[in-house]
A and B are shown apart, each in its own frame.
Chain A
């Protein structure tokens, strides 16, 4: 009876081994083809941040351009615009070439018709057409000619006007889009400046005897993380040396300054109009 335990059916011994191997081969293939992460992008960002650190003093001239830039961008467009409107006036000068253009058309029209039609069609029609068009070539009636020319002039004028309108509309749309973008950027800048001011104000120790509405223009160099590089410079003093020093101290103390909500609005050199007594 004891040999019962020794020999018994062992179903699927080799099948099991094969299936187990198969499972792991499947797992291996799955992992091999699905696990391939790339870490390049974070590395690229990293390089940029580190790369922009060293040149701290160079950007000093830069602060001046940013504020004027929007102004320059906005102004040129109005200046560019006027040229398109004037065309109506110079039109008078242009009219002559405009006239020349339509005229060939008038000449061409009768000619081809006269030449072509005779071939496929009997003569009578050829005779008729010249008669119908006769008034134009001889130009006996100055009134008709004038009317025609006026008409052509008007047409060309209308065409030119339409073109100008289109150009103008496109320019306006472009301008509006640019203005909107500028507006968004300046809005972001404003709110950013507001937050910087708020933080600096919190660290400001007012010297005694400050009153009225003192206003200072301070130039600050920033790192991308908001920390202040070097010493902030007073571009326009409040008139009170103690207050100026207090403001500069407060800015240094507030480092790192808040970052803009929109990272695109960040600038390395910020010119801040700071009103210490504003709430």
Chain B
């Protein structure tokens, strides 16, 4: 540990002990994946919101339900969540209505169950991988702290070989070790912020979908008479 050296980030990382370097590598990987999912989820949630807006506009503009269903069914791979809920419910509704001897409540209940199943699938799809962000936010500071503690332990152990102990003997080692905490925090802070933001956004979208289900059930019930 040369005292007169300059502490650039590269020398800091290069001089750290193997375990600290491993911790830094792990944290960098976690940080990369977490940023990847932050952007993926950001785009996905924005896309879901835009499609929901678009479908709500189409649905409440008073178009023919059959035509709407046809267009949703033809383009099912490119449809938004609300469109799929509508499609599932309407498909079930038409199937049940074709059967004889079924009363209105049963038909609407069947349609609602189909819609709920699709709704849960869609919400689950939106929420996927946000748990990863949550655990990144809570765990990566600890991983960084582990690397730091280990690095500081090494720095102090090296200090025991030096006759006259001064701060400049420990400082580089501690600085190296603290880089691990810094990387951990860099991974954790955006993950926590993004997780909270996404949880809120997903809540709002699912509430819109749920209220749409209720309203659509009412419309179907009116059509059975």
Cβ of A24: which chain B residues have Cβ within 8 Å of it? 28, 31-32, 35
A1 within 8 A of B: yes
**B164 close to chain A: CB less than 8 A:** yes
CB atoms of B172 and A4 under 8 A apart = no
Q: Does A15 contact B (CB under 8 A)?
A: yes
Is A54 close to B, CB under 8 A?
A: no
Task: Give, as a whole number of angstroms, the nearest-CB distance from B88 to chain A.
Answer: 7
> 0/1 per residue, B28-69, Cβ < 8 Å to A?
100111011111101110110000000000000000000000
Question: Is the CB of A36 closer than 8 A to any CB of chain B?
Answer: yes
Q: Which chain A residue lies CB-closest to B77?
A: A7
For residue B112, CB closer than 8 A to chain A, the reply is no
* B171 in the interface (beta carbon within 8 A): yes
Q: Which residues of B contact A17 (CB under 8 A)?
A: 36
A43 touches B4 (CB 8 A): yes
Q: Nearest Cβ in chain A — how far from B86, in angstroms? A: 13
B44 close to A12 (CB less than 8 A): yes
Contact segment of B5-13, B14-22, B136-144, B201-209: B5-13
In this complex, how many residues of chain A approach chain B with their Cβ under 8 Å: the count is 31
| Cβ-based interface call for B148 (8 A) | no
Chain A residues with CB under 8 A of B4: 39-40, 43
The 8 Å CB contact of A35, one of B3, B9, B40, is: B9
Chain B residues with Cβ below 8 Å from A8 are 77, 125
- Looking at chain A's contact residues, the main secondary structure is helix
Tell me, rounded to whole Å, the shortest Cβ–Cβ distance linking B32 to chain A. Answer: 6
Cβ contact within 8 Å between A31 and B6:
no
Chain B positions within 8 Å of A39 at CB level = 3-7, 168, 171-172
B76 within 8 A of A: yes
Determine if B7 and A38 form an interchain contact, defined as CB atoms under 8 angstroms apart: yes
Find the residue from B7, B40, B47, B84 having the highest chain A CB count within 10 A. B40
Please tell me the size bucket of the interface on B. 35 or more
Q: Is the CB of A20 within 8 A of B168?
A: no
**What is the CA–CA distance of A61 and B42 in the complex, to the nearest angstrom?**
79
Nearest chain B CB to A26 CB, angstrom units: 11
Q: Is B186 an interface residue (CB 8 A)?
A: yes
Q: Do A11 and B43 touch across chains, with their CB atoms under 8 A apart?
A: yes
Q: Are B77 and A35 in contact (CB under 8 A)?
A: no
- Measured in the bound complex, the distance between the Cα atoms of B47 and A9 in whole Å is 9
Which of chain B's residues have a CB closer than 8 A to the CB of A19? 35, 39
Smallest distance from the beta carbon of A191 to chain B beta carbons, Å?
Answer: 29
Q: Using a CB-CB cutoff of 8 Å, which residues 2-29 of chain A contact chain B?
A: 4-5, 7-13, 15-17, 19-21, 23-24, 27
Closest to A50 in B: B164
Q: For the complex, what is the distance from the CA of A38 to the CA of B164, rounded to whole Å?
A: 21
CB of A42 closer than 8 Å to a CB of B: yes
Pick from A9, A13, A20, A35: contact of B8, CB below 8 A.
Answer: A35
B217 at interface by CB-CB < 8 Å: no
- B181 on interface, CB distance cutoff 8 Å: no
| Given known A9-B78, A24-B28, A35-B12, contact A16–B43 (CB-CB < 8 A) | yes
Q: How far is the CA of A27 from the CA of B164 in the complex (A)?
A: 37
Q: Which residues of chain A come closer than 8 Å to B157, judged between CB atoms?
A: none
Residue B43 contacts which of A4, A7, A15, A40 (CB distance < 8 angstroms)?
A15
B113 contacts A by Cβ under 8 Å: no
Task: Provide the bound-state CA to CA distance between A4 and B36, in Å.
Answer: 24
Judged by a CB distance under 8 angstroms, whether B102 is at the interface is no
Residues of A close to B36: CB separation below 8 A:
16-17, 20
Given A8-B77, A24-B31, A46-B166, CB of A37 within 8 Å of CB of B40 = no
Q: Which residues of A contact B47 (CB under 8 A)?
A: 9, 11-12
Instruction: Return the 9 tightest CB-CB contacts between A and B, nearest first.
Output: A12-B43, A16-B39, A20-B35, A37-B7, A20-B36, A16-B40, A11-B43, A35-B9, A11-B47
* A interface residues with partner B (beta carbon < 8 Å): 1, 4-5, 7-13, 15-17, 19-21, 23-24, 27, 31-32, 35-40, 42-43, 46, 50
Known pairs A24-B35, A42-B166, A43-B4; list 16 more (Cβ under 8 Å): A4-B121, A8-B77, A12-B47, A15-B39, A16-B42, A21-B32, A32-B8, A35-B7, A35-B8, A35-B12, A36-B7, A38-B6, A39-B5, A40-B4, A43-B3, A46-B3
Which B residues fall within an 8 A CB radius of A? 3-10, 12, 28, 31-33, 35-40, 42-44, 46-47, 76-78, 84, 88, 118, 121, 125, 164, 166-168, 171-172, 175, 186
